[in-house]
């Protein structure tokens, strides 16, 4: 278990994590601190006020959520031992998960390898089929033109 989780998201996503951590702490009796990473536009936002610790990433115009050096500094300076990204651009970036591994922070999410495999839509569908997950009929690969897509459609889909 971890003691301090950094929230690498904002708004509703951040509040969901704060509430989940509070519920977990109530159930287990273990206090877990939340760290809101925020930009200037969210300085007075509810998730910033509700978190145990607030860390200013700088101006939103600099896009700090996408800057690994800024995120590494935030995780290190806040003493976070876990990072939660929720959904969005950072949640789809395996390099952030690798950064967490490098600095000894638990990434709450899939491994970088899983992110790479499942981020490829064709590859993820092939994986799903391989393990027996039902999938909708599809081309089984990339389709470069509209005519090629029409030619590869199952007969029931062409009506």
Total-model pTM? 0.80
- Domain of 96: which CATH number? 3.40.50.20
d(CA 71, CA 5): 13
Write out the chain's pLDDT in tens, 159 residues: 899 999 999 999 999 999 999 999 999 999 999 999 999 999 999 999 999 999 999 999 999 999 999 999 999 999 999 999 999 889 889 999 999 999 999 999 999 998 888 877 888 888 888 999 998 887 777 888 888 878 776 655 544
Question: How far apart, in Å, do the first and last CA atoms of the chain sit?
Answer: 54
Task: Tell me the residue range of the domain where 144 lies.
Answer: 120-157
Residue whose pair of structure tokens reads 């998730």 in the numeric block? 47
Query: Within a domain: residue 61?
Result: yes
At residue 57, the pLDDT reads: 98
Domain count, the chain: 2
Report CA dihedral (63, 68, 69, 72) to the nearest 10 degrees: 120
């Amino acid at each position: 278990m971890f003691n301090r989780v950094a929230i690498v998201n904002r708004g509703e996503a951040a509040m969901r994590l704060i509430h989940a951590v509070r519920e977990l702490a109530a159930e287990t009796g273990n206090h877990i601190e939340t760290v809101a990473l925020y930009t200037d536009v969210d300085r007075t936002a509810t998730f910033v006020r509700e978190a145990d610790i607030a860390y200013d990433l700088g101006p939103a115009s600099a896009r700090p959520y996408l800057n690994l050096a800024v995120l590494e500094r935030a995780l290190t300076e806040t003493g976070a031992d876990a990072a939660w990204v929720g959904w969005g651009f950072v949640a789809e970036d395996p390099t952030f998960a690798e950064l967490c591994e490098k600095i000894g922070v638990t990434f709450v999410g899939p491994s970088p390898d899983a992110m790479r495999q499942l981020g490829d839509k064709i590859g993820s569908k092939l994986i799903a089929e391989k393990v027996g997950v039902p999938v909708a009929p599809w081309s089984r690969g990339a389709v470069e033109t509209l005519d090629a897509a029409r030619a590869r459609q199952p007969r029931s889909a062409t009506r």
